[in-house]
Amino acid sequence: MTKPALARPTLRAAVWMLGAILSLTTMAIAGRQLSTELSTFQILFFRSFFGLLVIVLLIYQTGRSVIKTRRLGLHMLRNLAHFAGQYGWFFGIALIPLTEVFAIEFTTPLWTAVIAVVLLGERMNAMRIGGTLLGFLGTLIILRPGAGVMSVGALAVLGASLAYAFSHSMTKRLSSTDPPLAIVFYMCLIQLPLALLPALLAGWVWPSAPAWPWVLLVALCGLLAHYCMARAFKLADASLVVPIDFLRLPLVAVIGYLAYREKLDPWVMIGALVVVAGTWINLRSTR
C-alpha cells in the first residue's frame, strides 16, 4: 500500500524546512520593525529572555537531566560566536535591504566548510575547493568591493555569517554529547546577560505597546526556526534540505518590495545565484 505523501521522510523534511523559512523571514521583518525604537542589544535581550521562558517550560516537562553537560566551556565559546552573529544580522537588517541580508547570509555554509577543515579536521577534495571558491566569487559580486557600494550593514552581515559558521561547527561538536534542548537552553542562558549589560549601559528603552507583538515574534520565531531545521535535518540529508532554504531569497525579495518598497539589485541576485551554486557543489561533494 502506497504511503501518503506527507508520510515520506523527504517530503516531511521539506515541510519542516518551509516552516524554518517562514520563521526566519518573519523574524527578519520583526527585527526590522523593532530597529526603529530599540537597540540591537535590546532586541537580542528580549529574544533570549522570552526564548529562555519557553525552554524552561519544556525542561519542566522533560526533566532537568536533559540540560546536564560536561562541556560548559564549549557552550560558552559557541554562544560568544552565535551572539556576535546575531548582533551583526540584526544590525544589518536595520541598514540594508532584506534581500541583500539573506543573500550574504547564504555564505554561511561556505565559511562552515572552511572552518570544518581547520577545527574539525574534515578533508577538502577538489570539488569542495571549487565550490567554496565559486561561493566566495558570488560574495564578491554581491559586495563589489571598490565599486563604492559596500556598506557597513553589508559588512556586518558578512561578519555575522562568519560567526554563524563558527557557531555551527561548535554545534556539530556539542551534538555528539548534548541533546538539542540543552544546546538551545545554554544559548538563551548565556546570551541573556551578554545582551542585557550593553543594553543597560546604552540607555534602556521599554518597547511601546505596538512593539510588543514584534518582540514576541522575534523570540518565538527564532526558537521555531531552530526546531524546524533540526526536524528537517533529522529526516533528510543536508544535500536535500539546504537547497530548500534558498527559497528565502525570492520570498524576502517580494516582501521587501511590497512592505518597504526595496528595489531589487540585479547584482545581488546574480551573486546570490553564484553563492547557491557553490554551496550546491559543496553539498554534492559530500555524498
Q: H/E/C letters for each residue in 24-64?
A: HHHHHHHHHHHCCCCCHHHHHHHHHHHHHHHHHHHHHHHCH
What whole-number distance in Å separates Cα of residue 199 and Cα of residue 287? 45
Of 23, 49, 24, 22, nearest to 38 by C-alpha is: 49
Higher pLDDT residue, 98 or 116? 98
Chain segment 268-284, per-residue pLDDT in tens: 888 888 888 887 887 67
Query: Looking at the predicted structure, is the pLDDT value of residue 174 above 80?
Result: yes
Residue spans of the domains in the chain: they are 9-285
Angle (CA) 187-189-152 rounded to 5° is 55
Name the residue with cell 507583538: 213
Supply the mean pLDDT for the chain: 85
**Average of per-residue pLDDT across 173-177:** 82
Between 127 and 206, the more confident residue is 206
**Tens digits of per-residue pLDDT, 246-263?**
788 888 888 888 888 888
Residue of 108, 116, 114 whose CA lies nearest to 245: 108
Query: pTM for this structure?
Result: 0.85
pLDDT in tens, 52-100: 999 999 888 888 888 888 889 999 999 999 999 999 999 999 999 998 8
